[in-house]
Each structure stands twice: as structure tokens, then as C-alpha cells.
Amino acid sequence: MPGYYHMSAFVQAARPAITGAQIRAARALLRWSVHDLAEHCGVSESAISRAEKVDDVPAMQDRNLDAVRTAFEIRGIEFLDNTGLRLRSR
């Protein structure tokens, strides 16, 4: 049918993956331990620790990396591509 679009036809653009270095930096900025981050995002401490051992995008399941990112963004962290981050002004 012309002019008719089903909602499933629209795909939200994926957010760029964050790096292990950004995870470490975001935790430091918020003064969170690995345990704190795990509590906020529902990802295991061991998975977070493994992700933080690399500077680039970690070999972590996409849903877990997204949960980590979301936990930080809710608390005001803004990721700048794969280059850095900052705390949003309130």
C-alpha cells in the first residue's frame, strides 16, 4: 500500500560501542567500584573486569556493553565516540 509504513521498518541507529578505557574512566569519574557498576547495570563483575583490561572495544556481548553504557548515561556520563567521555552539566 503506497504511503504505508510499518513501525518495524524503522530501525534505530545503533550507538557506537564504548571501549574498555572509557568504562574505566567513567567508573573513576563516578567513583564507582567494579561492584558498584555491576549492581547498576546487571552485568557480572568478572565480565566488567575482563572488558576493562583492553583499551579498545571489549569482546563483550552487545547487550551487556549496552547495559554498561546505559547505566553510565543515566548517571550523566556522555560518551564522545570512541575517544573519551564527559560528565553532562546539570
- Give me the CATH number covering residue 36: 1.10.260.40
Higher pLDDT, 10 or 23: 23
Residues 6+ apart with CB under 8 A from 42: 67
**If you average pLDDT over every residue of the chain, what do you get?**
86
**In the prediction, which pLDDT does 81 show?**
81
- Report pLDDT for 10: 38
The set of long-range contacts for 44-48, using a CB threshold of 8 Å and a minimum separation of 24, is 48/23
Q: Is 89 a member of any domain?
A: no
Asked if the structure places residue 12 within a domain, the reply is no
State how many domains the chain has. 1
**In sequence order, which ranges of the chain are alpha helices (DSSP H)?**
20-30, 34-41, 45-52, 62-74
Domain assignment present for 88:
no
Residue 49 located in a structural domain: yes
Q: How many CB atoms lie within 10 A of CB 88?
A: 9
Pick from 10-14, 52-56, 72-76, 84-88: least confident: 10-14
Range of the domain at 56: 17-81
